[in-house]
Amino acid sequence: MKVYIESYGCAMNNADTNLIKRILSEKHEIISDPWMADVIIINTCTVRGETEKNMMHRIKELENIRCIKGSKLIVAGCMAKVQPAKILSISPEASLISPQKIGEIMEIIESKNREIRIVGEGIKDLKKMVTDGLTLTIPIAEGCLGDCSYCIVRLARGRLKSYPENEIVEIVEKAVGKGVKEIRITAQDTAAYGFDKGTNLVNLLKKILRVQGEYRVRIGMMTPNNALKIIDGLLEVYDDDRVYKFIHIPLQSGDNNILKVMNRKYTVEDYGEIVDRFRSIYPNGFITTDIISGFPGESDEAHRNTIKVLEETKPDKVNAAKYTPRPHTKAAALPQIPEKIRSERCREVIELSRKISLERNKIYEGKMVDAIVLGCNKRGFLKARMKDYRLALIEGSNELIGRIVNIKILEARETYLIGELTSSWSW
């Protein structure tokens, strides 16, 4: 059969899609045109209200194709898990599969019936992941230990389930052996890895870094409370040249009272401690954080506190979003802040974050840096990742892809740097 697959959302979703493609490609053809497919698969995200609207719109479009062509539509991912009725209201013939059940995707596409597989646990064979290309995202756990009052993803992904260390290391070995140059470690909370198995992220990373070869490791999002539990070991691991000096620590709010309402398990001071310790060793290290603007109960003062923390800690990137109520969450039942105020506060956070990002990137203007070339963009510029994961765009031949290059930074932009090639070499 011919199978079309499209994916939305986080790195975990991308990893799940990778696994789906690998499983199905053993017997079926993966194609790029839904109009030519026997089976259409959409791997969904529903983290925010706007995302949900986009998903519903796209499912309607794919349902239209299904009706015209007589193909089979499968809706996978978080939305299939937590909002099945909403999906079936617009696509009653769609099959549904939860993130936990994607190991059963072959059975679903080959079934003559509509399948609903969204209840219970499943088995994911991570060793089936595609390792072609220069970059590979590896999920190290499913679910989390949190109970945030606003989060629908926890309902979709469940409680923490860490994958075996030996399986993860085996995937890394296989990937590096096939020429993968960038390993992205991901989970809902990478810092929680192993807490359900008597181990932790530091132990896993040390085992990964025993794999011989020239590659880079990017550590995914870590909640401050769990990161603090292993911070000494983490900073030791970051000392390895193969680990990007990049850390993703979500703040969500710069006000401790709002953090309590969110049911986050840390304080603003905890977040600040991690930033201070990381920057004391890597002053130019790249810090990404997340902010939710207009959360229920957020006063003007609470919003100003968030602005103040961002001004003081200067994260290199801020993923800012205005709060939107999500179904089945506690925060959805709280008194809501008017849409206009939420939007205004979010715009202020975005404007400040852009200013800080440019300011931080300007540190590199005129400097010589090493970076690994991992591909090219739509305009033909090569995309190179520096040691702190900053993106530098340079002109050059595609023969440089996969190589380490030395570049001079000519100009800083908000989200990337513009560089000039001075030399290159192969690993």
Confidence tier at 154 by pLDDT (50, 70, 90): confident
Burial call 134-172: b when 16+ CB within 10 Å, e when fewer: bebbbbbbbbbbbebbbbbbbbbbbebbbbebeebbebb
pLDDT given for residue 129 in this prediction: 76
Distance of CA 107 to the CA centre of its chain: 28
Q: At what angle do helices 165-177 and 201-208 cross, to 10 degrees?
A: 30
**Can you tell me the mean pLDDT for 359-363?**
98
Confidence tier at 403 by pLDDT (50, 70, 90): very high
**Can you tell me the mean pLDDT for 274-301?**
98
In this predicted model, what pLDDT tens digit does every residue of 155-191 receive, in sequence order?
Answer: 889 999 999 999 999 999 999 999 999 999 999 999 9
Half-sphere exposure of 370 (CA within 13 A, CB side): 12
Whether residue 15 is predicted with pLDDT greater than 70 in this model: the reply is: yes
For residue 23, which of 133, 102, 123, 116 has the smallest C-alpha distance?
A: 102
In this predicted model, what pLDDT tens digit does every residue of 96-149 receive, in sequence order?
Answer: 999 999 999 999 999 999 999 999 888 788 877 767 789 999 999 999 999 999
Report percent pLDDT > 90 for the chain. 92
Confidence tier at 427 by pLDDT (50, 70, 90): low
Q: Which token pair is 54?
A: 């986009």
- Residue 369's Cβ-count burial label (10 Å; 0-12, 13-18, 19+) is buried
CB neighbours (10 Å) of residue 400? 18
Distance of CA 359 to the CA centre of its chain: 25
Whether residue 225 is predicted with pLDDT greater than 70 in this model: the reply is: yes
**Can you tell me the mean pLDDT for 239-267?**
98
Domains and CATH numbers, the chain: 2-117 (3.40.50.12160), 126-362 (3.80.30.20), 365-425 (2.40.50.140)
Return the residue matching tokens 């497919």: 37
**Can you tell me the mean pLDDT for 3-30?**
93
pLDDT given for residue 24 in this prediction: 94
**Can you tell me the mean pLDDT for 286-300?**
98
* Lowest-pLDDT range of 83-92, 112-121, 408-417: 112-121
Report DSSP letters for 218-264, one per residue: EE----HHHHHHTHHHHHHHHTSTTB-SEEE---B-S-HHHHHHHT-
pLDDT given for residue 424 in this prediction: 75
pLDDT given for residue 396 in this prediction: 93
DSSP-assigned beta bridge partners for residue 161: 142
Distance CA 410, CA 1 (A): 50
In this predicted model, what pLDDT tens digit does every residue of 254-276 receive, in sequence order?
Answer: 999 999 999 999 999 999 999 99
Arithmetic mean of pLDDT over the chain = 95
Q: Supply the DSSP symbol for 398.
A: G
pLDDT given for residue 334 in this prediction: 97
